[in-house]
Every structure is written in C-alpha cells, then in structure tokens.
Structure 1
Amino acid sequence: MSGYEQEIERLLADYRTQRSQIDENRRRINEMSATVTAPRKVVSVTVTARGEVTEIDFPTGAFRRMTPKELGEILRTAIADARAQALEQVDELVFGDLPFQLKPSEVLTGSADLGALLPTEPQPADGVREYLDNGVPNRGGDRRD
C-alpha cells in the first residue's frame, strides 16, 4: 500500500472513530435525566436532558395544603431545576469539537452568545482585501478600476 493509500485509510479510520464517539454521546445524552424533589417533599419531578418531563410524583400529601398557584410555582421551579441538572450532565461529556469553549447547555437554552462567534465585520483574506481596496488587477500587474 502506498503512502497515499495509507493516509486515506488513516483518515477514514479517524472519521469512523469520531462518528462512533458522536453516536455514543447521543445515546448517553438520550439516557440522561435528573430528578429534583421540592422542599417539604411537595413534589418530585424527573426531566430528561432534552427537557421532557418524564415523571411527576407527590411523595407526601403536602400538596393538598397548597393553593393551585403555589403548587404551580413549585412545579415550575422543580422542573427548571431538574432540567438544569440534566443539562449539567450533558456539559460534563467531552465536547472537544464545540468551538470557542461553548457549553451544550448554553446553546440549548439560548444563553450562549452566538453573535460573539463572528466578528461584526468579516475579516477577508488578503487577496479579497486587496481587491476591495484597489480593484481588479490586470495581467500586466497594473490595476484597473
């Protein structure tokens, strides 16, 4: 096998390894969840990393002494806390491929400043900058505008 063929085989093997890691991370993320129990054990909720509420449990009768508004607020808080914990688990996975130290949870919740990834003005390559500044060069080396 030539050096060229060996390099192609190595690149394909690297690709397959990365693809396998991505599939494994997706499987792990799909299995992640977090459970939070509200104070006084009013309610316990389980939420997946995708934000799905998979279980709501009332371990005690404490919810019976609450107004619907109070219970609703406790439920919303418990669900938000469980979702945040599940997303923290996602952040703990190795995500070396995300640029600029982005955390998956920040991207998924919309708190990442994605606008910071791109400059307000593009930085063109030298040849493009020269064209913008001086116009199209002719073949003789002189510039024509």
Structure 2
Amino acid sequence: MPSPYDQQIEDLLGQYRRQRAEAAETRRRINETTATVTAPRQAVRITVGAQGEVTAIEFPTGAYRRMAPKELADVLLTALRQARAEALEGVTGLLAGRLPPGVTVPDLLQGRVDPAAVLPEDPAMPDSVRDYVDHGFRGETDE
C-alpha cells in the first residue's frame, strides 16, 4: 500500500534529477568556455580555456619580429592576463546565482572549495519526509 509520502519522495527525486542534469549541462558549458585575445598590432593571439590554461598561441602577423624580446614578453603576458580574465568572466556568467554564499568562481575553479559547501550531505526535504525516510511509515498515532 503506497504511503502518503510516496508522491513527495517522487517529487524530490525528480527535483534532484533535474538539478543533476542542470549541473552536468553547466559543467559541459564551462568546459567549452574559451577566451581569445589579440594584442595590439596583432602581434600575438592567445586562447585560454575556462581554467586559464593556454590552448593556443598564434602570431597572425609579422609584427612580433620587430619587437624587442622584453616588449614581446610584455605583450604576451598582457594578452594572456586579459584572456584569462575574459574566460573567468565567461564562467562567472554561467554560474551567476548558482553558487552558495561564500563560494567564488576562482575558488571553485582552483579546487579550493569543499564539495560539502556546494552539495550538502543531506538533501533539503520537508521534516515529515525526512522522518519517513529515516524511520519508515508509522501510520497515525495518538500522542
């Protein structure tokens, strides 16, 4: 015989499945996030991924040939910093409003976040359902 909590439990499981699907989609979109920056005079073009890893360095013109080594190094570093900032901004936009208070995107991307802060050990549910899950259906009592 079904209990009065079966529908609530099914609803909670459905909500949990939707949240997992949304999380998987968000992760896919984060993994696809890139940012490409082209330095002035098109001396260099740098592409980075969501975590700031360099995925491509290109020299679209011969402008780099006329640069002193220090100038080229400065242009590379500046473009790299800008690309990383743009990638982080893209990821931040994907996660806007989805992170718990106190959890920042840089901390999340750099592995400095305790998973329990993002996904609590015990899912949220009404007290009556929690009691049913913990102790089973006890029927009506006259207490």
| Normalised TM-score (structure 1) | 0.68
Aligned to 2:68: 67
Give percent identity, aligned residues only: 56
Aligned to 1:129: none
Q: Which stretch of the first structure deviates more once superposed, 67-76 or 101-110?
A: 101-110
Larger Rg: 1
Aligned to 2:85: 84
Shift of 1:83: 0.9
Aligned to 1:35: 36
Instruction: Give the gaps of 5 or more residues in structure 1.
Output: 115-145
Aligned to 1:12: 13
Shift of 1:55: 0.9
The code of the aligned residue for 2:62 comes to G
Structure 1: how far apart are the matches of 2:31 and 2:91? 10
- 8 Å contact 1:42–1:60 — kept in the other structure? yes
SS at match of 1:36: strand
- 8 Å contact 1:34–1:83 — kept in the other structure? yes
Shift of 1:91: 1.1
Structure 2: how far apart are the matches of 1:92 and 1:101? 17
Structure 1: how far apart are the matches of 2:74 and 2:102? 34
Aligned to 2:128: none
Higher relative contact order (CA 8 A, sep 6+): 2
Q: CA RMSD in A?
A: 2.1
Shift of 1:103: 4.1
Cα displacement string for residues 67-125 of structure 1 (whole angstroms, at most 9, x for unaligned residues)? 11211111111011011101111111144342227541465479xxx9xxxxxxxxxxx
The code of the aligned residue for 2:46 comes to V
Aligned residues: 111
Aligned to 1:99: 100
The code of the aligned residue for 1:48 comes to G
Structure 2: how far apart are the matches of 1:107 and 1:20? 19
The code of the aligned residue for 1:81 comes to Q
- 8 Å contact 1:88–1:105 — kept in the other structure? no
Aligned to 1:25: 26
